[in-house]
Amino acid sequence: MALGDAVDIRGKDWDPLGYARFGDLRLRPALDLIAQVPDLPAGDVIDLGCGNGPVARALARRFDGRRLIGVDSSVAMLEKARETGCYDALIEADAACWKPDNPPALIYSNALCHWIDDHAKLFPNLVAQLAEGGTLAVQMPRQFGAPSHGLMRQTAQKMFPKRFDFSNWCPPVAPPSFYARLLAPLGSVTVWESEYLQRLSAVETGHPVRHFTESTAMRPFLARLSASEGAAFTAAYEEALFQAYPMETDETVLFPFRRLFFVLTT
């Protein structure tokens, strides 16, 4: 079961405060992606999946003088993004079917597209929206084989086998070679991966990795569970995390996290 298909979480809006708790760790790959964007032709900059606007100021600085437009499906996130004061426009839309009014110079998407199915269709469609000489820049987590994410699937299937079956599961982000082959006919493309060794701070209760994943990767699982079931699932998941990611002497945790990037210029 692919959770993006089987679990509808659109009615359960994102929690901006929960997502922002690890803003510094989530910002690093976003900045690394911005640094690889080449010179752009005339046109707007689109922050596709802008969330609560964590990258708005960096995009506004790097592309000063251009219109910065944020696109997101979460009303709560867009309200927080508006508070940054950096966006010239904010649009509530599903990124899978969004289309710009005018061809933009840059479509920048940080930590969004792993939530969207059918990348073989999605990315060529986004490239087709660009101005001539424009750039598509994308970052996606590719953490799905790590214990942080694998233990969610194992725990859910063990505890609730009638609702979770991952026997035919495929990760939502393919290996880098898939994107290199898919995008090569569409322009000049660079694809790479980075693994960030994140040190998660000590927490008062539970495991630091659970605190990191609960506002993102855990959402589709909890969406299928009642409050009591969710609490039981979380407790079992955390127990497994203590084995997979042992505490350091200062109660921090070293948490490797892999991310995939590509930059394509038409």
> Which among 195, 212, 194, 215 is positioned nearest to 203, based on CA atoms?
212
pLDDT, one tens digit per residue, over 37-63 is: 999 999 999 999 999 999 999 999 999
What pLDDT sits at residue 27? Answer: 92
**Tens-digit pLDDT profile for residues 214-260:** 988 999 999 999 999 999 999 999 999 999 999 999 999 999 999 99
pLDDT at 82: 97
pLDDT of residue 215: 84
What residue type is 29 in one-letter code? P
Q: How far apart (Å, rounded) are the C-alpha atoms in residues 230 and 218?
A: 10
pLDDT of residue 24: 78
**Which amino acid makes up residue 248?**
E
pLDDT of residue 263 exceeding 90, the answer is yes
In this prediction, residue 92 carries a pLDDT of 98
Distance between CA atoms of 133 and 105, rounded to whole angstroms? 8
Question: Which domain covers residue 206, as residue numbers?
Answer: 3-265
pLDDT score, position 2: 39
Inform me whether the pLDDT recorded for 21 exceeds 70. no
- Find out whether 241 and 148 touch, Cβ atoms under 8 Å: yes
What confidence category does residue 9 fall into, taking pLDDT thresholds of 50, 70 and 90?
very low
Q: What is the pLDDT of residues 196-212, one digit of tens each?
A: 999 999 999 999 999 99
Buried b (16+ CB within 10 A) or exposed e, 29-48: bbebbbeebeebbebbbbbb
| Rg over CA atoms, the chain | 19
Each residue's pLDDT tens digit, 124-133: 999 999 999 9
* Mean pLDDT across the chain: 92
Helix (H) / strand (E) element for 263: namely strand 253-265
pLDDT tens digit string along 124-172?
A: 999 999 999 999 999 999 999 999 999 999 999 999 999 999 999 999 9
198: nearest Cα among 211, 179, 217, 216? 211
- Read off φ and ψ for residue 260, nearest 5 degrees: -110, 140
User: CA-to-CA distance for 50 and 254, rounded, in angstroms?
Assistant: 28
Domain with residue 229: its CATH number is 3.40.50.150
Domain tally for the chain?
1
Q: What is the pLDDT of residues 61-74, one digit of tens each?
A: 999 999 999 999 99
Q: What pLDDT score was predicted for residue 237? A: 98
Q: Is the pLDDT of residue 20 over 90?
A: no
Question: Quick check: 82 and 51 in contact, CB under 8 A?
Answer: no
- pTM score: 0.89
DSSP string computed for 58-116: HHHHHTTTS-EEEEES-HHHHHHHHHTS--SEEEE--TTT---SS--SEEEEES-GGGS
> Contact 201/250 with Cβ under 8 angstroms?
no
pLDDT per position as a tens digit, 65-117: 999 999 999 999 999 999 999 999 999 999 999 999 999 999 999 999 999 99
Q: How many C-beta atoms surround the C-beta of residue 11 within 10 A?
A: 6
